[in-house]
Amino acid sequence: MGSVLLVSAAQLGMRWSMQRLPHPAQWLAAQQVDAVALSVVIAAIAAYALSMLCWLGALRDMPLSRAYSLLSISYAAVYVLAALLPFFNETLTAPRTVGVTLIVLGVVTINFRRSCDNGSNSDKELSR
């Protein structure tokens, strides 16, 4: 979950910053660059790096199919937060909401099925 939270925060931070900064190719030529926005970009890059460390820990301790499905929760989190926070000027739309709902249902399905499989395996071991 640390990876999900960090990558979601990084995405939102990048979006917020890039709304306030010129195109990256123009940063060196720009006479004035918003220092706060540039700081947020740097913090977002650091959040990505920390996210990768969390991701490596998750891969060590859980199956890839489960870890990767949980990582997709960040798509839903970024979509909802970008729509709910007023400074992003994003809107909730039916097609996007249906898509995000399908992602969340997929995550639930993958992880529910795995927990059911694990429960049935432990039941078999108990009966031996």
pLDDT category of residue 125 using cuts at 50, 70 and 90: very low
30 in Cβ contact with 22 (< 8 Å): yes
Mean pLDDT calculated for residue range 67-80? 88
Least confident of 12-16, 19-23, 44-48: 19-23
**pLDDT confidence of residue 123:** 46
More confident residue, 28 or 17: 17
2 in Cβ contact with 54 (< 8 Å): yes
**pLDDT confidence of residue 79:** 93
Least confident of 14-23, 24-33, 42-51, 55-64: 24-33
Task: Please count the other Cβ atoms lying within 10 Å of the Cβ belonging to residue 16.
Answer: 19
Least confident of 35-39, 55-59, 68-72, 84-88: 68-72
Residue 60 CB burial class (10 angstroms; 0-12, 13-18, ≥19):
exposed
Q: In sequence order, what are the residues at sequence separation of 6 or more whose Cβ sits closer than 8 angstroms to the Cβ of residue 9?
A: 44, 47
